[in-house]
Amino acid sequence: MPSKFSNILILSDIDGTFLGNRTRIIERNLTAIEHFKSHGGLFTFNTGRTYDNLFTVVPNAAELANAPAALSNGCCLYDLAAGRSIIDYFMPPEPALAVAKYIKANIKDVGMRISAKAGFLAD
């Protein structure tokens, strides 16, 4: 017999969704996630953060997730429990920086961050 949440996957953003003010972990979120998983649900993260940055703000991310995470705005499918990337789709740094320089030179009041495989690239 299927469990209550079988075949349901929840992907959560980090900032302002999973985490509260000042990157605070919210206890009721942890309780809800454990309840969901205990009834057959799959939970993971979908964030612009990189894997190393994710673990900085959610140290127990590997224990919380029971499915691969989508990191770096979808550029990386990452197995948190195994600590390894499943597949990456990263743009080479040179063209990414060229795009950033173009945007900064031609569009006023823009903020940006380029997610790289290990951290962020800055212009």
pLDDT of residue 111: 76
Residue 81 falls in which region: left (phi positive, over 0), alpha (psi -120 to 50) or beta: alpha
Q: How many helices (H) and strands (E) does the chain have?
A: 4, 7
Residue 6 vs residue 113, higher pLDDT? 6
Question: pLDDT tens digits for 32-58?
Answer: 999 999 999 999 999 988 888 899 999
Are the CB atoms for 44 and 66 separated by under 8 Å?
yes
Q: In the predicted model, is pLDDT for residue 28 greater than 70? A: yes
Q: Which residues of 59-94 are buried (b: 16+ CB within 10 A; e: fewer)?
A: eebbebbbbbbbbbeebbbbbbeeeebeeeeeeeee
**Residues 34, 41: Cα–Cα separation, whole Å:** 9
Claim: this prediction has a pTM higher than 0.85: no
